[in-house]
Amino acid sequence: MSQRIKIKALLQSGETGIDVTVKGWVRAFRQNRFIALNDGSTNATLQIVVDFENTDPTLLKSITVGAAISVTGKLAASLGQGQTVEVIASTIEVLGDCDPDKYPLQLKNRPSLEYLREIAHLRFRTNTFGAIFRVRNTLSFAIHKFFNEKGFVYLHTPVITASDAEGAGEAFHVTNFDLANVPRTESGEVDYSKDFFGRSTNLTVSGQLEGELGAMALSDIYTFGPTFRAENSNTTRHLAEFWMIEPEMAFYELKDNADLAEELLKYVISYALEQNQEDLQFLNQRLLDEEKQKPQNERSELALLDKLQFCLANDFERLTYTEAIEILRESTPNKKKKFQFPVEGWGTDLQSEHERYLVEKHFKKPVILTDYPKEIKSFYMRQNDDGKTVAAMDILFPGIGEIVGGSQREERLDKLETRMDELGIPKDELWWYLDTRRFGSCPHAGFGLGFERLVLFVTGMGNIRDVIPFPRFPKNAEF
């Protein structure tokens, strides 16, 4: 390995007087003398002091914004503001130049987030996206660390599935057919027996059902993988391809499930605050600057860091759907007919405006809503004794809405089969799922955490397309 030291480690070491080699990309070059060097390990740049009088003018000219360089020199205490050390360069090599007239990030004005989405291959080179993707990395690691410490088994559930139990046509097809020449049966149907898997297959919308199979033997498992929706949603909250964490726990009831989800969310937020202080401070300031453009009444009540700390310091509010409907029905915006969808009776699904009211206006903190009407929830959720509700839970976050959706699962074979029949879900396709209720069934529960929504919350970004490296959405699969 070359003796290169990364800038984050160098700045942390506090050493001076030693020779070092650093490599990275030029962020700025002032007065032919001071290079601000970044290598992605931190947003902080390292100042390189160039002896311009004794440096080849051709070399000096090729030190432009975006160029990749290698520098060897002596680490010295710095007198400059905001930096403790700098490198007095003895040799500088330009590894790859960068034409200032063509480089898209050479723009004098700060490029917009919209423009950066079009050059997602280069946006990692900005402070905003460097910070976002380092925070995303930390959150991923924190999730694995959390479950590992609790003895959960990470299970890779399949991405290609034949079951579309939850589907409703939202799943992408996966096929090996030549689409110009799809094989047909004699009666003219698509002949899936000729497809790669010998049947119709989709991209998974959830690993839950397979995850349950693991939990019914290993006790506690989690998935962390990509999931897909072929929904034509062009919103700031939806992607066609996104990552989801889905733990499933044998012998858990609904309360245990909610406790685990709350503990997980607090753990990973706390871990990010600890590991990515600088990045989160940067994103905090970015959001403050962005909100300065907005009228006072549209600004967040709390700055990003305060919001994260607030989230750690307070118990999430827990209440039932039925209690929430009461609060909403009696709320000022409902009475003043400010809701687009007025809250009248029990049984309808909550709209985003209702969730926001509960979280952002009424309780002013994360909310766990439980025990929804069975008609608006999935077939596998455990039926409560009231005959009307199921042991579901959604966790709602300020600014994000639903970040977690889960439930205790229906472990009683007869009740599960009856519900599947009512909803017309083919039992023969899910024979393996039902088998777990035939052989040693037990109370169990689980939830799904939308990873990009978590990253949105922690980074304070406003558009989900900005927190995944290469977003997939209708009419867009670039890169």
Residues 81 to 110: which contact a second copy by CB under 8 A? Answer: 95-99, 102-105
414: which 2 tokens? 């007869």
> Judged by CB under 8 A, which stretch of 50-58, 152-160, 354-362, 399-407 contacts a second copy?
152-160
Applying CB under 8 A, among 112, 148, 277, 332 the residue interacting with a second copy is: 148
Applying CB under 8 A, among 28, 107, 110, 251 the residue interacting with a second copy is: 251
Closer Cβ to a second copy, 140 or 309, answer by number: 140
- The answer to whether residue 469 forms part of the interface with a second copy (CB under 8 A) is yes
Applying CB under 8 A, among 228, 363, 397, 447 the residue interacting with a second copy is: 228
Site for a second copy, residues 302 to 341, rule: CB under 8 A: none
Applying CB under 8 A, among 107, 160, 312, 423 the residue interacting with a second copy is: 160
Closer Cβ to a second copy, 116 or 359, answer by number: 116
- The answer to whether residue 427 forms part of the interface with a second copy (CB under 8 A) is no
* Alpha-carbon gap, residue 476 to 479, rounded angstroms: 9
- The answer to whether residue 33 forms part of the interface with a second copy (CB under 8 A) is no
> Judged by CB under 8 A, which stretch of 54-62, 71-79, 156-164, 281-289 contacts a second copy?
156-164
Query: Taking CA 269 as the corner, what is the angle to CA 263 and CA 271, rounded to the nearest 5 degrees?
Result: 95
| Buried-state track 224-250, b at ≥16 Cβ within 10 A, e below 16 | bbebbbbbeeeeebbbbbbbbbbbbbb
For residues 393 and 257, the answer to whether their CB atoms sit within 8 Å is yes
Site for a second copy, residues 395 to 414, rule: CB under 8 A: 411
Closer Cβ to a second copy, 134 or 354, answer by number: 134
Helix H, strand E, coil C: the string for 248-271 is EEECCCHHHHHHHHHHHHHHHHHH
Closer Cβ to a second copy, 111 or 347, answer by number: 111
108: which 2 tokens? 């004098």
- The answer to whether residue 6 forms part of the interface with a second copy (CB under 8 A) is yes
Give which of 403, 130, 361, 406 is closest to 269, Cα–Cα.
403
Beta carbon of residue 383, minimum distance to a second copy (angstroms, whole number): 16
> Judged by CB under 8 A, which stretch of 81-89, 219-227, 351-359, 384-392 contacts a second copy?
219-227
Residues that contact a second copy, how many (by CB under 8 A): 115
* Alpha-carbon gap, residue 374 to 390, rounded angstroms: 5
Closer Cβ to a second copy, 102 or 336, answer by number: 102
Applying CB under 8 A, among 230, 273, 288, 303 the residue interacting with a second copy is: 230
Residue 458 exposed, middle or buried by CB count within 10 Å (0-12, 13-18, 19+):
buried
Beta carbon of residue 211, minimum distance to a second copy (angstroms, whole number): 9
- The answer to whether residue 196 forms part of the interface with a second copy (CB under 8 A) is yes
Closer Cβ to a second copy, 25 or 321, answer by number: 25
- The answer to whether residue 134 forms part of the interface with a second copy (CB under 8 A) is yes
Distance of CA 398 to the CA centre of its chain: 15
135: which 2 tokens? 């925070």
Give which of 314, 320, 399 is closest to 360, Cα–Cα.
399
- The answer to whether residue 440 forms part of the interface with a second copy (CB under 8 A) is yes
Give which of 117, 123, 127, 118 is closest to 105, Cα–Cα.
123
- The answer to whether residue 476 forms part of the interface with a second copy (CB under 8 A) is yes
* Alpha-carbon gap, residue 174 to 104, rounded angstroms: 36
Give the three-class secondary structure for 438. helix
- The answer to whether residue 426 forms part of the interface with a second copy (CB under 8 A) is no
Give which of 180, 25, 51 is closest to 106, Cα–Cα.
25
Applying CB under 8 A, among 23, 266, 286, 377 the residue interacting with a second copy is: 23
- The answer to whether residue 61 forms part of the interface with a second copy (CB under 8 A) is no
Give which of 2, 78, 4, 94 is closest to 34, Cα–Cα.
78
Say which residue the tokens 């088998």 belong to.
Answer: 435
- The answer to whether residue 44 forms part of the interface with a second copy (CB under 8 A) is no
Site for a second copy, residues 166 to 195, rule: CB under 8 A: 172-177, 179-180, 182, 189-190
Beta carbon of residue 226, minimum distance to a second copy (angstroms, whole number): 5
Say which residue the tokens 């871990």 belong to.
Answer: 271
